[in-house]
Amino acid sequence: MTAQRILSWTPAAIVFDCDGTLMDTECHWQDARLRALREFGFTPAPGFTERAKGLHYTECGVLMAEEAGHPELGADLTERLLGHFGALVADRPLTMPGARRLVEQAARFAPLAVASNCPKEVVESSLGTAGLLDRFDHVVVPDDDNGIRPKPHPDVYLTAARLCGTDPADTLAVEDSHCGIEAAERAGMRILGVGPWPAERTMALVDLWVRSLDEPELRGWAGDRVPAQIPGNRPTMKP
């Protein structure tokens, strides 16, 4: 792990994952998965939560159906999953510790984007309710019409960097799941991982791992990126 590749560096843009990174929605996904499975009389196998974390919701529905031994129910389980998740998020939107402060600090010196496997309306609704949506220049999600595949494909990250006008190598990805970290690594970005200490295979892909976006070293790093105004009011770094 090369922490200094993050802590001594100013990215040209920052792309955040949403669920589990900015918004505390992983508990909602867990509840939604369990509710959908129980409605069909199924119980998830051990380790299912980790296998499902970070997957696009359609892929998660397929996984649920396969693990239940009824692959023909993939579409039905996907529909139930998304319905339950949307209701839970609307009822209790929560930001992750430190997310609001980091986003507000980062927005002073770099364009920001979100790259998520969730439907765009869900991402925008949850960020809007949390008062964070207007901090982001772009929200990128999988899109069949435009050939944007879900994580772990790199498409959402590559698209976010392009929209921000930056090279992926000059862009920081902030992620909490192996699926998302793999996508960012395949896009060629530097990676900040966040959450409980991960498996070795995940740790091998990140430059810096923090337990929370509220950790002092991360707050200090973001606070030290002092912006200077340039034409067009886009913040940039002073030499």
- Spatial strand order in the sheet of 13-16: 138-140, 112-115, 13-16, 171-175, 190-194, 208-210
DSSP 110: S
- Report the C-alpha gap between 60 and 150 in whole angstroms: 12
Give the pLDDT confidence score for residue 121 in this predicted structure: 85
Q: What are the domain boundaries of the chain?
A: 4-24+94-237, 26-91
DSSP 150: P
122-176 pLDDT tens trace = 899 889 988 899 999 999 999 999 999 999 999 999 999 999 999 999 999 999 9
Give the pLDDT confidence score for residue 226 in this predicted structure: 66
**Superfamily name and number for 4-24+94-237:** HAD superfamily/HAD-like (3.40.50.1000)
pLDDT surpasses 90 at 232? no
Q: Stretch 184-208: mean pLDDT, rounded?
A: 96
**What average pLDDT does the chain have?**
89
Q: Are 53 and 25 in contact (CB under 8 A)?
A: no
Rounded to two decimals, the pTM is: 0.80
51-96 pLDDT tens trace = 888 788 888 899 999 988 889 989 999 999 988 888 887 777 789 9
